[in-house]
């Protein structure tokens, strides 16, 4: 095989998994808050690891800011932007549709509950 066509694959994650298994062999999963990242969720660089519940929560928070329910974190002002709110709610709806059948019970409930709450708040703000 031509060396120029050979793909480089980062498999260092496999080593980390093996190290974690050796440190805590068969230990029970620790329950965590759906919003607050656990220390285990942080990477070596101090970044929060990607988690589905945090992703859904971040989209929901952006939608709440756009609905004027929560102050913008930078400006500290509350402003309504219904177009942005509708877009974010639609993104969550798309996420629900595309992940159907592939989520845990808790993840599915989180998406459904979040969508319901945001849609109700949107209807109240838009008058429709």
pLDDT tens for the chain, 128 residues long, are 455 555 455 556 666 666 666 765 554 444 443 444 555 555 556 777 889 999 999 999 999 999 999 999 899 999 999 999 999 999 999 999 999 999 999 999 999 999 999 999 999 999 87
Measure CA of the first residue to CA of the last residue in the chain; give whole Å.
Answer: 62
> Which residues make Cβ contacts (< 8 Å) with residue 99, sequence separation at least 6?
107, 111
H or E segment to which residue 98 belongs:
helix 82-99
- pLDDT at residue number 38: 53
- The domain segmentation of the chain, as residue ranges, is 52-126
């Amino acid at each position: 095989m031509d060396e120029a066509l050979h793909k480089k694959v980062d498999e260092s994650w496999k080593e980390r998994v093996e190290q974690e298994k050796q440190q805590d062999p068969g230990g029970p999963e620790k329950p965590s808050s759906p919003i607050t990242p656990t220390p285990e969720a942080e990477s070596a660089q101090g970044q929060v690891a990607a988690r589905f519940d945090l992703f859904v929560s971040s989209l929901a928070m952006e939608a709440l800011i756009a609905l004027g329910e929560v102050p913008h974190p930078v400006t500290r002002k509350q402003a309504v932007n219904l177009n942005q709110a509708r877009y974010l709610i639609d993104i969550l709806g798309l996420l629900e549709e595309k992940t159907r059948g592939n989520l845990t019970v808790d993840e599915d409930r989180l998406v459904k509950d979040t969508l319901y709450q945001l849609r109700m708040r949107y209807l109240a703000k838009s008058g429709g």
